[in-house]
């Protein structure tokens, strides 16, 4: 997600293309590339202008589906629609419902499970517990659900007892704060040497 989030102000087509790029490196499936971009766009929708996963999905997904250039495979689209439908009719989300969406080993299944868990759960803790307690690729679905719910509710929604046991918690928080300011860093081939340039390059050396 951070690769796409780094350009949050970019037009949506550029954002989707940027978020898809890492997928070309690791996967041959076109669906995986588009699904990566979809997750970034949806998470940013939660942060920027839509206060919930449901309202973000209502705006972002129709836009993604309409982009012929970034055509989403039928299996991916169907998985997402199944997740939305399941969340709309499920009053007591559980592992059985999650299994009905797949195991998460395929990209479309993983995004569908994450979307369902984020839509159906009452809070971040419930959503994450639902996302990781199944027999499939639960670490991936848990991470993706955390992206969505964390974007909406913020770090304050993470149970304190979880935070207290987190290794390197302060370092993670510091790096997250730094990442939020990355678009303003004066680094790169088009920036002349400066005090700020030196500061960031020494703080996060690229080698």
**Residue 101, both tokens:** 């969406």
| Residues of the chain below pLDDT 70 | 1-53, 56-76, 207
The answer to whether the predicted template modeling score (pTM) of the entire model surpasses 0.85 is no
72-77-80-82 Cα dihedral, nearest 10 degrees: -170
Q: Give pLDDT, residue 77.
A: 72
Largest Cα–Cα separation, the chain: 57
- Domain annotation for the chain: domains and CATH numbers: 2-159 (1.10.4080.10), 167-203 (no CATH)
Give percent of the chain above pLDDT 90. 23
**Residue 18, both tokens:** 């940027």
- Quote the CA–CA distance of 80 and 76 in Å, as a whole number: 6
Count of residues in the chain: 207
Give the closest residue to 48 by CA, choosing from 6, 8, 15, 19. 8
């Amino acid at each position: 997600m951070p690769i796409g989030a780094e350009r949050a102000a970019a037009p949506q087509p550029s954002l989707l293309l940027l978020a898809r790029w890492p997928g070309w490196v690791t996967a041959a499936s076109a669906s995986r590339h588009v699904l990566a971009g979809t997750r970034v766009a949806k998470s940013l929708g939660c942060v920027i202008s839509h206060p919930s996963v449901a309202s973000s999905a209502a705006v972002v997904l129709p836009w993604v589906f309409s982009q012929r250039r970034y055509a989403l495979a039928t299996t991916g689209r169907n998985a997402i629609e199944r997740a939305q439908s399941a969340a709309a009719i499920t009053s007591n989300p559980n592992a059985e419902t999650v299994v009905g969406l797949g195991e998460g080993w395929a990209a479309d299944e993983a995004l569908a499970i994450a979307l369902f868990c984020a839509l159906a759960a009452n809070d971040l803790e419930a959503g994450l517990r639902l996302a990781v307690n199944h027999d499939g690729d639960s670490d991936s679905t848990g991470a993706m659900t955390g992206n969505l719910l964390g974007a909406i509710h913020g770090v304050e929604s993470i149970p304190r007892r979880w935070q207290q046991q987190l290794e390197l918690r302060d370092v993670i928080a510091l790096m997250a704060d730094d990442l939020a300011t990355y678009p303003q860093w004066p680094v790169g081939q088009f920036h002349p040497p400066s005090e700020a340039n030196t500061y960031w390059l020494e703080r996060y050396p690229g080698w």
